[in-house]
Structure 1
Amino acid sequence: MKKLFLGMVVSLAGVACAAQDAGAAKHVTVLHAARMLDVAAGKVVAPGEVLVEGEKIVAVGTHVERPAGAEVIDLGGTTLMPGLIDAHVHLFLHPGAEDLQTVQESVPERTLIAAGAAKADLMAGFTAERDMGSEGAGCADVAVRNAINSGLIPGPRMRMSCNAIDLTGGHEDAIGYNPAQKVLSNADYADSSEEIVKVMREQRKGGADFTKIYETGKDSFRDGGFQTPYQYTEAELAAAVKEAERAGGGAGSGRGVAVHATGEPGTGFAVAAGVASVDHAYQLSDATMKAMKEKQIYAVPTFAIAEYFADHAANPARAEWDRNEQKYHAAEFKKQLAAGVPMAMGSDVGPFQHGTQARELELMVEFGMKPAAALQADLLNGARLLGWGGQIGELKAGYFADVIAVPGDPLENISATTKVVFVMKNGVVYKRP
């Protein structure tokens, strides 16, 4: 009996091990399409195939191995390309009165809205994003990121900042309301270097990946020139950069400091301090552009949100102001490109409908970039800015299997990126024709 029992145990153990091995087997997929984008080379190869095993890309080429049992997905006349990256989004905002959403909607309600926004962005082909402030929802964005990472909800890979940081009476403060009501800012208050560092530590404790700081605002045109007051000195911003570096936020980490900065001298202070990105960047001096090129600090133009605000302005006068600002920015953008300022793609989506932000790529091309350069800004620079360089942004062996397909050739017509027909993130298919 003892021998029989031991034999049964060994047999059952063998069955259990076999079951575990079978469960550990990774799903193998072969993606085939008429074309495939080579991002770094700025060209399309034909045909295109990607071999995916589990969450990683195993091989890429005009023809790849088809292992026994592999699922083959034929995407016909489309172009395979890496999942898109948006370096400036707001999951917790939606179209409507932006300043009232944080007052009228509870944080639980806004978190549910953010989950829906994350899904919409993913289904539009954006497989990685950076959320530039939860707009008064604190570190609720961390819960969204964690739910995505654990598979509870669909969404892009996310870098989260919790709230942005702002001065008392600064750009994002609740100005224009009855002071007696003590309406809070949509950002966290910090009025000195010490307070900035303290807020950063609290946010990192809450799970923030990086820090967003408001550096300029309110914008105006005076005597034919663009003007915007700065909020923090170069020394104060340098303290924030130093604190981020102390916590692991060095170059290429995705954990540094990003600033809302539209013009000088704030943009110059931010670049001198060594921030990771200057978001909006309407106005950059020659010295600032030179430093950005040397330090590889990214400008994130955000044309799409400016276009939306102009098209949905409260009155004709405001619409004209917004359109003039966009024209000014477009002209400055051409100067920035000529100066070699590194660009990343960020749309500021949230106040306009999530899932439509590939419009930003169309505008970057309309205002001076070649389609190949715009896609390199989005995919190569976006991956580096978010701290995932060498992991996403290209279709290469060893990279995460974040793959989309678009109709036609995006190098000939960038608008193809607005019509994504297939989405795979981390080897999981979320959308197919």
Structure 2
Amino acid sequence: MIKNTVLIIAIFLSFLSGGVQASETPGVTVIHAGMVLDTPGEKPTKKQTIIVRDGVIESVWEGYVSHTSIDENAKFIDLSNSFVMPGLMDMHVHLSMNLTLPKYQRVLPPAESLMGAIRGARHLLLSGFTTVRGAGDPAEVIFPLRDAINRGEFPGPRIFASGPIISREGGHGYGGCDGVESCRKTTRKRISDGADWIKIATSGSASDETGSADSASDMFYDEVRSVVETGQKLKTDVLVHATSTEGINIALQAGARSIDHSSYADKTSFALFRKKGAYMVPTTYVVDFLENNPTIREGLGDEQYERLSSVMRDIRKLPGLAWKAGVKLAIGTDAGHELSARHYREFVLYVESGVPAGEAIKAGTVNAAELLRQENSLGYLRPGYIADIIAIDGNPLEDITQLKHVSFVMKDGKVFKLNGEEVLTEAGF
């Protein structure tokens, strides 16, 4: 009944919005780009012409080519004074939640969650994030939203969604994983419900006793392994919420593809990340988030708050330590649908921890695409790739804070932001 109600609300909102689309349907678009980071992690090139046809990058030419010589009906976009790069990706978001609220108020009724998620998705897209991974939202909210965005009914990034977190009974999540058979059954159910990823929790949250550095894993190895194996049979990868060292290492040993938070990763963890080819998603911005949102303290006892503060202090150094240890990193913010600045700040905190700006950007583009197994269609500006393109007035390789100033956004070949202004149909929201 709840799921049907949410769907009805989504359809109604779509009707009111006129089925919001970008300003132009895909056709031929010719872009003159002043500086182009076509392959994050490498040096940018200058004065390039990017030709987009039917939502895909058709070709990239040196120099500026007349758009009419390509197609007399081509749309021309002048980004000759901009830094042009692939759309950004956030691998850990909670679009159904407002995380500025006290912990006990964050899980909202489905209809309210959906409306907040629609608003948050639009904000994310206009901030330059064209792809995200939903890491633990109610199925009745996140799956309909993902599908509606894919159909073009709402503006937003493409979403790869896990649905609710699987955990032991009483753990950090919704239960369903007590013993191997229980874990397999719940994993199959998540996938049949429409999950693109499976998310499990092998520790508590940072404020819980089970999330401390020396806490035992919340799940046994055979339970985690059963989830991973079930996902592999059904071609669905596993991401793990883990803060404690044992929780991190058991998940890595069992073959999880990404470990999110990874607060107390140690040298053994780093070695396992390298050996298994797993990705770390540190969600470093929670440090700033804690400091800038005093309401987080509400509902937490002094001991819980001190545990949370301790994790936050330690995690500031994590991206730099992991990068120097050769661990593959992907950007993730742990953001909700609140309209915060935390998305671009994650890149800044990477750099402050010792990650070079180019590598931080790579973590939010190329590495994220590889994590999603979408490296043949996303993360680069190359012929045959989906036309997810953003432009920035400054050079983020020289000043990473320039990522805050996204002036142009194209997703799937459609323009959503131009000259710093939102571009939607006349109906709007």
Give the structure-1-normalised TM-score.
0.83
Q: Assess, with a 3 A threshold, how the Cα gap between structure 1 residues 111 and 146 changes in structure 2: closer, same or farther.
A: same
| Equivalent pair of 1:311/1:319 in contact (CA under 8 Å) | no
Q: SS at the partner of 1:362? A: helix
Give the structure-2-normalised TM-score.
0.84
Deviations 1:241-283, CA, capped at 9 Å, x for gaps: 000001013xxxxxx0000011211100000001010000112
Alignment partner, residue 38 of structure 2:
38
| Equivalent pair of 1:217/1:229 in contact (CA under 8 Å) | no
The question of 1:52 aligning with 2:39 is answered no
Alignment partner, residue 415 of structure 2:
429
Alignment partner, residue 22 of structure 1:
none
| Equivalent pair of 2:169/2:175 in contact (CA under 8 Å) | no
Q: Assess, with a 3 A threshold, how the Cα gap between structure 1 residues 41 and 331 changes in structure 2: closer, same or farther.
A: closer
| Equivalent pair of 2:217/2:247 in contact (CA under 8 Å) | yes
In 1, Cα distance between equivalents of 2:126 and 2:57: 20
Q: Percent identity?
A: 31
Q: Assess, with a 3 A threshold, how the Cα gap between structure 1 residues 370 and 165 changes in structure 2: closer, same or farther.
A: same
Alignment partner, residue 228 of structure 1:
215
The question of 1:306 aligning with 2:311 is answered no
In 1, Cα distance between equivalents of 2:321 and 2:342: 27
**CA shift at 1:230, angstroms?**
1.5
**CA shift at 1:219, angstroms?**
4.3
**CA shift at 1:388, angstroms?**
1.1
The question of 1:283 aligning with 2:286 is answered no
In 2, Cα distance between equivalents of 1:354 and 1:204: 31
Mark the runs of 5 or more structure 2 residues left unpaired by the alignment: 1-24, 420-429
Mark the structure with the bigger radius of gyration: 1
**CA shift at 1:41, angstroms?**
4.7
In 2, Cα distance between equivalents of 1:354 and 1:337: 26
In 2, Cα distance between equivalents of 1:198 and 1:355: 39
Alignment partner, residue 244 of structure 1:
231
**Counterpart AA for 1:235:** D
Alignment partner, residue 132 of structure 1:
135
The question of 1:71 aligning with 2:75 is answered yes
Q: Assess, with a 3 A threshold, how the Cα gap between structure 1 residues 39 and 320 changes in structure 2: closer, same or farther.
A: farther
The question of 1:205 aligning with 2:192 is answered yes
Mark the runs of 5 or more structure 1 residues left unpaired by the alignment: 1-24, 173-186, 250-255
| Equivalent pair of 1:200/1:211 in contact (CA under 8 Å) | yes
Q: Assess, with a 3 A threshold, how the Cα gap between structure 1 residues 101 and 219 changes in structure 2: closer, same or farther.
A: closer
Name the Cα RMSD after superposition.
Answer: 2.3
In 1, Cα distance between equivalents of 2:319 and 2:286: 16
In 2, Cα distance between equivalents of 1:123 and 1:97: 27
Q: Assess, with a 3 A threshold, how the Cα gap between structure 1 residues 322 and 353 changes in structure 2: closer, same or farther.
A: farther
| Equivalent pair of 1:139/1:203 in contact (CA under 8 Å) | no
The question of 1:88 aligning with 2:92 is answered yes
Q: SS at the partner of 1:398? A: coil
**CA shift at 1:320, angstroms?**
6.8
**Counterpart AA for 1:203:** R
Alignment partner, residue 246 of structure 2:
265
**CA shift at 1:295, angstroms?**
2.1
In 1, Cα distance between equivalents of 2:151 and 2:204: 38
Alignment partner, residue 365 of structure 2:
379
- Residue of structure 1 aligned with 2:393, choices 389, 407, 428: 407
**CA shift at 1:390, angstroms?**
1.4
Q: Assess, with a 3 A threshold, how the Cα gap between structure 1 residues 41 and 286 changes in structure 2: closer, same or farther.
A: closer
Deviations 1:291-325, CA, capped at 9 Å, x for gaps: 21122100001011232023324289777765543
Pairs within 5 Å for 1:329-348: 329-348=315-334
Alignment partner, residue 168 of structure 2:
167
| Equivalent pair of 1:123/1:355 in contact (CA under 8 Å) | no
In 2, Cα distance between equivalents of 1:236 and 1:288: 19
**CA shift at 1:40, angstroms?**
4.1
Pairs within 5 Å for 1:321-336: 322-336=308-322
**CA shift at 1:218, angstroms?**
4.8
Deviations 1:168-223, CA, capped at 9 Å, x for gaps: 22134xxxxxxxxxxxxxx343222211211111111111111001111254799x
In 2, Cα distance between equivalents of 1:228 and 1:351: 30
Q: SS at the partner of 2:343? A: coil
In 1, Cα distance between equivalents of 2:307 and 2:62: 50
**Counterpart AA for 1:407:** D
